[in-house]
Structure 1
Amino acid sequence: MHTAYAEISSVAAVAYDMADEQRHLLAYVPLVKRVVRQLHAQVGGAVDREDMEQIGLIGLLEALRRYGVPDERFGAYAAMRVRGAILDELRRQDWRPRAVRQESHRMRDAVREFRRKLGREPSEAEIVSALGVTSAAYQEYLLAENAEQLASFDELVYELSNMPSDMQSPEAQMIARRSLEQALSVLDVREQRVIQLYYEFDLNFKEIAAVLDLTEARICQLNKGALRKMREFLQAH
């Protein structure tokens, strides 16, 4: 009698948990769509938007199951997990053709060498002129580079500060937040604005370019430089 009652209670609890999970999942679908809208603009339509949303929903479901009942911090945590799931799948599928990857690596090396010679961050016009490429080709390179840069930076930020609250002590969470605040402080005002618009307001690079009245290629350049500075700071501290 008691055993049967326990089994019925267990089944009821599972059904309730699934219904609750479904409710939370539906509540955060708009978050998935925002992340996909950001990333889809950066991969140039190489991956179907609906496929990216499906991957993002799987990432959201995993985030819910790992985190537990959503609270005010869950949105940031879920966005990081969703973005990470999509970027992981893009890398796994190797979405850029081999020739494009090779050209990207060649351009990356050339830009690094040009930067080293100048001793500063070159402008878009200087790079285009020095490398003998079109502005459109340089912008495509920047978008691809930023997709990779975002993936590695997201992983670092996730490790530092977006773990569920029950997986970090209050002291560890406070130190992580302070580290990120200090990392942001090494950026100039424009770099901080780009990071804020991307991570906090979920704008893609084209939208950020419109807000700041800059070219999309310049936003890519600012974003890449900002992420590099923050990553170097966080790894050094």
Structure 2
Amino acid sequence: MAITHETRVTNQVHVEPRPTDLRELWKRLRESGDAYAREQLVLAHAPLVKWVAGRIAATLPPHVEEGDLISYGLVGLTSAVDRFDPDREVRFETYAVTRIRGAIIDELRSQDWVPRSVRSRAREIERTHTKLEHQLHRAPTDEEMADAMDLSVRDFQDALLQVSQATVHALDELWSVGDASGDQVSLLDTIQDERADDPEQLLAEQDLRDQVGDAIQRLPEREKVVIALYYYENLTLREIGEVLGVTESRASQLHTKAVLRLRSRLAGGDVENA
């Protein structure tokens, strides 16, 4: 059977056109609580969340993920859409930014085990330090800080201890090296491994071995042999004498002369070959 034009129209599924006018979306949301209108309003203003999250992230340690802040901010944006009254003479963007920021801050605070009083004290210490440093043109002492904050020195130092315990850094957080290289190092790389050898000591020992090796190479041949047999092969002076075909007493003399030459050269002097 042929399908007429009339049949095709009858069988088509009717799709309601999506409104593009924000005023129409607000109207539908307020009049009927239209879920689609609510979703479209959230999507239309989602860039606000990224903008606010980016500004807040710039003030936080690097280990705080901006993606997490965006998810917190979306909760604030959704709440702003639900509570906003289009009839008021306030732009939605202005209203939404406040609620987005508040939602992010509230979530960050809920995850923070540090009392607000400690955070407040930390900010007070920072402000006081900056003020005194500007006035004195140097770093203030504990006594000067305590006096400016109307605290005893003991109370000020206790406050410093509380603030230090509340400061947390991610071990993989990268810090810039203080030169023009632009290199970065993580906090983990700066923590000393007590089981590892001291690099400075290893370098000093290697330098000493190089100096001793160079000084030994400059010894007369027989004295060089005595040093090698005595210290590296662990032979006795009597056995060294037998190897060289000399008496034990002569081997001892050669050993003494070699040691004196080495001491002199390592001390910066020199002894002519005998």
TM-score band by shorter chain is 0.3 to 0.5
Larger radius of gyration: 2
| TM-score (structure 2 length as normaliser) | 0.33
Structure with bigger RCO (C-alpha 8 Å, 6+ apart): 1
| TM-score (structure 1 length as normaliser) | 0.38
More helix by share: 1
